[in-house]
Structure 1
Amino acid sequence: MVGLNQDIYFNNVAWYVSALLIAGYFIYYMVLNHRKFYIQFVCPISVILIYSFYYRIYTGMEMWGDSIGFWQHDALLRALAGMNMGIMSYQLCNKIKDIRLTAFSEYLLDAAEIFSFYS
């Protein structure tokens, strides 16, 4: 966003990239200093609470930088929840990467993946 005129947007996703950078600093600090607590407790709870809040207030993820309160900007919360979801996915993949699976369990995982994309 160039800031010259609110009706002219040269890059519509710039707000989200900025929010990702700001949320990334917070996440980096927390993982660096409180890794186990952040990954096992804060990540799942924050994802559930933030996404529940958005579906309750906005009935979806379609928001464009509204202000929630005095200093809370909804783009920051959305970026925080998305990055925390990525952290949880990475941790899950690290835990299951060395597990030997049978053909049936691979089919079940494929079906679960397709169902998750569909839902």
Structure 2
Amino acid sequence: ISSNFVAGNVETAGKYSKKLIVGFAGTDITPFTLTKVSVSDGSNLSVSYSEEELETLGFNTNPSDGKKCNGYLMPQQGSIGWDTSNLLVTATVRLQDGKVITVTQKVTPVNN
């Protein structure tokens, strides 16, 4: 499952990303539920999203039958964007058998 987890920059300005795309590249794996996503960036901004918040943002937290489990995360209101100099995205996943795992992706910094 960790090899399928992706996180990347969208709409960048300088070293800042205006939004992140987060999700799983393929859902042809054991059924799972995305229960939490946490983001920490180079400016020490740290944000966590619950399963319910992710669903509100349009994530399919229980992908099956080839449906995608991805969506976009926006920086906090008033922020100039996610600082990509040290940007980490972590997903907490509950597998069908009840086992809980976390996967982390370091987002590639934006070059000026």
Q: Which has the higher helix share?
A: 1
TM-score w.r.t. the length of structure 2 is 0.23
Q: Which has the higher strand share?
A: 2
Bigger CA radius of gyration: 1
- Choose between structure 1 and 2 for higher RCO, CA contacts under 8 A separated by at least 6 residues: 2
TM-score w.r.t. the length of structure 1 is 0.22
